[in-house]
């Protein structure tokens, strides 16, 4: 466990906006164990860097570990585990014939070994020999090769979140009239209004397939996204301009979807945000109160 360091380093935002339509590198393949594994008995970690320190499931950037091992063997068969905050392994990668003193990296796509989205939480990477035995510890200063220093970067931990807060800027949840269930002429309000200046960037709270992108008299410019791996759909309304997303496109968690506006039936700049249960928005699902979720996402975003 000694190799698992926690860090108070400020988190880089894994969901920071990138140009629309950017391709996201998938996670690394799991690989397969070497049938006759080997590793040096002196396996150590000379350096390890995990970036970004905060990521979103199905996000723009997956957590990536770049590491350098120390070993007295030219080829080392390694297993790299993703370990949750209570020490359980949620995913393993096998890396065969890794040379010492040469950087290698793996990227985790946020799914468990059973291919389910991993829950919110703090995780660490752990590097072990496939032959069994303890996780590689950080190389002590004495055993690092000449030229390297104790200032080698060393981070194995990171946070993974399932959702991003959809507004990148100052915002508030307004008054009673903006709550889910508030009375409207002939119906009730099916979402939560989040007040923010027009032009404030909006991002996908959860990535997935764009179920609909278009304009409607009441909703204005709006986008509906099938939340990947959730069964929930999320709708974003009154966008300043038509979203660059088209129906059928894929969008990642934290990726830009448009700007706060007041198109359609709106008297102030705000995001009208809806969450619909499975099977989804006007597909037989029902709207639920999004405020508790928004508050939770707001707290860590
Ligand atoms: Zn509204």
Residue spans per domain, the chain: 44-161, 176-300
**What is the tens place of the pLDDT at every residue in 37-47?**
887 778 999 99
Calculate how far, in angstroms, residue 273's C-alpha sits from the geometric centre of ligand 1. Answer: 7
Calculate how far, in angstroms, residue 283's C-alpha sits from the geometric centre of ligand 1. Answer: 20
Calculate how far, in angstroms, residue 263's C-alpha sits from the geometric centre of ligand 1. Answer: 12
**What is the tens place of the pLDDT at every residue in 174-212?**
999 999 999 998 899 999 999 999 999 999 999 999 999
For residues 18 and 59, what is the distance between their CA atoms, to the nearest angstrom?
11
Query: pTM here?
Result: 0.81
On the question of pLDDT at 2 being above 70, the answer is no
Hey, what CATH class is 44-161 in?
Answer: mainly beta
- Do 64 and 51 contact (CB within 8 A), yes or no? yes
On the question of pLDDT at 8 being above 60, the answer is no
- pLDDT for 297 equals 96
Calculate how far, in angstroms, residue 247's C-alpha sits from the geometric centre of ligand 1. Answer: 22
Calculate how far, in angstroms, residue 296's C-alpha sits from the geometric centre of ligand 1. Answer: 19
Pick the range with the lowest mean pLDDT from 120-129, 143-152, 249-258, 292-301: 143-152
Mean of the pLDDT values across residues 31-54? Answer: 90
On the question of pLDDT at 270 being above 50, the answer is yes
Calculate how far, in angstroms, residue 181's C-alpha sits from the geometric centre of ligand 1. Answer: 10
Calculate how far, in angstroms, residue 256's C-alpha sits from the geometric centre of ligand 1. Answer: 20
Residue with tokens 């968690």: 253
DSSP string of 163-185, one letter each residue: ---SB-S--B---GGGSTT-EET
Decide which of 2.60.40.1840, 1.10.260.40, 2.70.70.10, 2.40.40.20 is the CATH code for 176-300.
2.70.70.10
- Do 111 and 117 contact (CB within 8 A), yes or no? yes
On the question of pLDDT at 13 being above 90, the answer is no
**What is the tens place of the pLDDT at every residue in 147-176?**
555 556 799 999 999 999 999 999 999 999
On the question of pLDDT at 11 being above 60, the answer is no
**What is the tens place of the pLDDT at every residue in 120-136?**
999 999 999 998 888 99
Calculate how far, in angstroms, residue 156's C-alpha sits from the geometric centre of ligand 1. Answer: 42
Three-state SS annotation for 263-300:
CCCCCCCEEEEEEECCCCCCCCCCEECCHHHHHHHHHH
């Amino acid at each position: 466990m000694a190799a698992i360091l926690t860090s108070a380093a400020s988190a880089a935002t894994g969901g920071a906006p990138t140009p629309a339509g950017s391709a996201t590198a998938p996670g690394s393949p799991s690989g397969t164990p070497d049938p006759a594994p080997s590793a040096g008995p002196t396996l150590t970690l000379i350096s390890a860097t995990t970036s970004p320190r905060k990521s979103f499931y199905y996000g723009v950037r997956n957590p990536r570990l770049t590491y350098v091992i120390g070993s007295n063997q030219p080829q080392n068969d390694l297993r790299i585990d993703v370990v949750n905050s209570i020490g359980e392994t949620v995913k393993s990668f096998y890396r065969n014939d890794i040379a010492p003193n040469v950087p290698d990296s793996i990227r985790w796509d946020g799914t468990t070994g059973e291919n389910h989205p991993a829950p919110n939480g703090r995780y660490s990477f752990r590097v072990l020999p496939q032959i069994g035995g303890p996780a590689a510890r950080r190389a002590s200063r004495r055993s690092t090769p000449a030229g390297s220093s104790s200032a080698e970067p060393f981070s194995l931990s990171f946070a993974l979140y399932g959702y991003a807060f959809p507004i990148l800027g100052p915002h508030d949840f307004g008054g009673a009239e903006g709550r889910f269930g508030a009375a409207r002429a002939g119906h009730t309000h099916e979402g939560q209004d989040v007040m923010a200046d027009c032009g404030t960037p909006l991002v996908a709270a959860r990535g997935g397939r764009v179920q609909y992108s278009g304009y409607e008299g009441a909703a204005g410019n709006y986008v509906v996204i099938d939340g990947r791996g959730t069964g929930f759909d999320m709708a974003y309304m009154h966008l300043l301009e038509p979203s660059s997303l088209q129906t059928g496109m894929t969008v990642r968690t934290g990726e830009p979807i448009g700007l706060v506006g007041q198109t359609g039936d709106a008297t102030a700049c705000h995001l009208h945000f809806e969450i619909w249960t499975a099977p989804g928005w006007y597909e037989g699902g029902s709207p639920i109160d999004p405020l508790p979720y928004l508050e939770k996402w707001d707290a860590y975003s």
